[in-house]
Amino acid sequence: MNGKFMVIDPSKDFAKLKGLSSPTRLDILRLLHENGPTNINVIAERLSLPQSSVSSNVRILEEAGLIETETRKGRKGNQKLCRAVYDEFVIIFNKGTESQGNNAIEVSMPLGLYSNCEVTGPCGICSTEGIIGLLDVPATFLDPERMKASLLWFTSGFVEYQFPNNTKITQSPVDAIEFVMELSSEVPGTNANWPSDITVSVNGRELGVWTSPGDFGDKRGTLTPGWWKLKGSQYGMLKSWTVNHSGTYVDGVRISDVTLNEIGLSDHHSIRLRIEVKPDARHPGGVNIFGRGFGNYDQDIVMRIRPRH
């Protein structure tokens, strides 16, 4: 254990609250905390539960980002090892959440409106109506029809978005900037155990890396259109990168010391967001980025700037 803790905002972290809402799942987390990485068969034996029940609850915990799993070869085939990610959970009821939300400057960026890109295949773009351009041809990412994109994927490289820097207009001091997007790893077909290191940068400054656990296809995404085959990526995890005066956080968990001062909001007339999978990453597992009409969340890439009060 690394002494990691997670801050949960009950107004938006519904998946995490769901993961913690079951006595069975709490028992699984407690066992993993005490024993370290444990396979599903042992969990079922220790808790006197059917393996099917443990598997379904482990899947919910994994989707919520509360545990990580790894498939290893055992004496009798493969075994799925589960590991708890956090030691502590802190639920914060912020009295100022509503007023801050009303005063926040929010911009929703359509998925296909990237201003720069450089990707490697396998890769592709599609709208809610069908595939755009040619699959696995990086030049397709320059197709004007990309403006209709609701899902894009690539193996390595980046897409970069240019948001308006509205702080230059309001002249307001900023407390935090947040980027919210739905992401998963990318593998031909799907594989829930396919880690990928996804790097996010703002104005050329790397904020840090989030490791996506896999490419999810166990069920159709809530919004994913019917024409999209079930063997393709179905949904991702909604992730929030927040930069404030103390550092950078993903879903409330500190990942780096990069602060607002280091991304130079006052020095630029735009805010450049880069989403990248580096070819030399420890886990170069590609990325899917989901927009409106695909996945589980009806949104594109959202930027929120929270002014100081």
Contact assessment for residue 207 and residue 127, using Cβ atoms and an 8 Å cutoff: no
Average pLDDT per block of 10 residues along the chain, 309 residues long? 56 76 92 90 93 91 87 74 80 47 79 95 95 96 95 97 80 87 94 96 96 94 91 93 94 92 87 96 96 93 87
pLDDT score for 1? 35
pLDDT score for 6? 65
Contact assessment for residue 181 and residue 276, using Cβ atoms and an 8 Å cutoff: no
Question: How do residues 12-25 score in pLDDT, each as one tens digit?
Answer: 677 788 888 899 99
pLDDT score for 2? 37
Number of neighbours of residue 81 by Cβ within 10 angstroms: 18
Tell if the pTM clears 0.75, that is, is over it: no
The DSSP annotation for 14-34 comes to HHHHHHHS-HHHHHHHHHHHH
Question: How do residues 67-103 score in pLDDT, each as one tens digit?
Answer: 988 887 766 677 889 998 877 776 655 543 333 445 6
SS3 sequence of 208-256? EEEEECCEECCCCCCCCCCCCCCCCCCECEEEEEEEECCCEEECCEEEE
Burial 48-66 (b: 16+ CB within 10 A, else e): ebeeeebeebbbbbbbbbb
Contact assessment for residue 184 and residue 216, using Cβ atoms and an 8 Å cutoff: yes
Which residues are 307's β-sheet partners? 174
- In this structure, what token pair is assigned to residue 36? 């370290």
* Helices within 66-162 (DSSP H only): 97-103
Question: Position 62: which residue type?
Answer: E
pLDDT score for 100? 42
pLDDT score for 18? 81
Q: Who's near 122: CB < 8 A, 6+ residues apart?
A: 135, 136, 153, 154, 155, 186, 188, 286
* Helices within 21-96 (DSSP H only): 23-35, 40-47, 51-63
Q: What gap in Å lies between CA 199 and CA 210, rounded to an integer? A: 7
Strands 124-126 and 131-132, bridge-based pairing: antiparallel
